[in-house]
Amino acid sequence: DTEVTQTPKHLVMGMTNKKSLKCEQHMGHRAMYWYKQKAKKPPELMFVYSYEKLSINESVPSRFSPECPNSSLLNLHLHALQPEDSALYLCASSQNPTLFYGYTFGSGTRLTVV
Amino acid sequence: KQEVTQIPAALSVPEGENLVLNCSFTDSAIYNLQWFRQDPGKGLTSLLLIQSSQREQTSGRLNASLDKSSGRSTLYIAASQPGDSATYLCAVSVGGDDKIIFGKGTRLHILP
């Protein structure tokens, strides 16, 4: 298995809803990442988990809450989002945090906040 | 602060032509450089990864070169096809850090 799997592929949520995005990899990678991408822009880093511990939070608002239950799974919990949070959310993994082997990305979750 | 620039921002070429996409970075102390492809609304697909000690990598019709001293990388696509139409992103990693720096991408359109 050489993939990063993200679910759901599409999500529409209201501003008062609570939802979660899920990311899974079975490549034994020990670093996992959440990125946010707006249309025609490069991905922007949100969070980095290194060996299941949060190592980087790029000053992301608290309405986004990451969780890494185990080395294969990464969640992003969403609560009280704003319409401007609508974007493509990408998960990525790397064999280790030194990034010597580069990144593997998932196909993303298209989030629309209404 | 590391900055990554990709030129051109957009490119249209007829099918069958060979083409070059450019990526430059301001700090030559990179760990590696990775080229990605992104189709509209989709995730990123890794095309080639060049370690800092390497000069080039090849995969099929793609060839990526790296010149650390001048802060440049090129992605060469041979015999372009309409299926090559996508946005191409380059990204560099700096040793000791947990993140990579992306360029803004080149939107490539291959005309049938």
A95 touches chain B (CB under 8 A): no
Predicted pLDDT at B96: 64
Contact of A37 with A46, CB cutoff 8 Å: no
Residues of B in contact with A92 (CB under 8 A): 44
How far is residue A91's CA from residue A3's CA, in Å, rounded to a whole number?
11
**pLDDT tens, position by position, B70-95:** 999 999 999 999 999 999 999 998 76
Q: Taking residues A65-86, report their average pLDDT.
A: 97
Q: Is A1 a residue whose pLDDT tops 80?
A: no
Q: Do B46 and A31 touch (CB under 8 A)?
A: no
Tell me the per-residue pLDDT of B6-48, one tens digit each, with 9 for 90 and over: 999 999 999 999 999 999 999 988 889 999 999 998 999 999 9
| Residue of A55, A2, A52, A57 whose CA lies nearest to A27 | A2
Q: Which of A7, A103, A109, A111 to mutate to test the interface with B (most CBs of B within 10 A)?
A: A103
pLDDT at B105 over 90: yes
Compute the nearest-CA separation of B49 from chain A (Å).
7
Sign of CA dihedral B89, B94, B95, B96: negative
Any idea of the CA torsion for A48, A52, A55, A61, to the nearest 10 degrees?
Answer: 60
pLDDT tens per residue across span A9-67 = 999 999 999 999 999 999 999 999 999 999 999 999 999 999 999 999 999 999 999 99
The confidence band for B97, taking pLDDT boundaries of 50, 70 and 90, is: low
CA angle A47, A98, A6 (to 5 degrees): 45
B51 touches chain A (CB under 8 A): yes
Residue A107 has pLDDT above 80, yes or no: yes
The mean pLDDT of A107-113, rounded to a whole number, is 97
Q: Provide the token pair at B32.
A: 């590696």
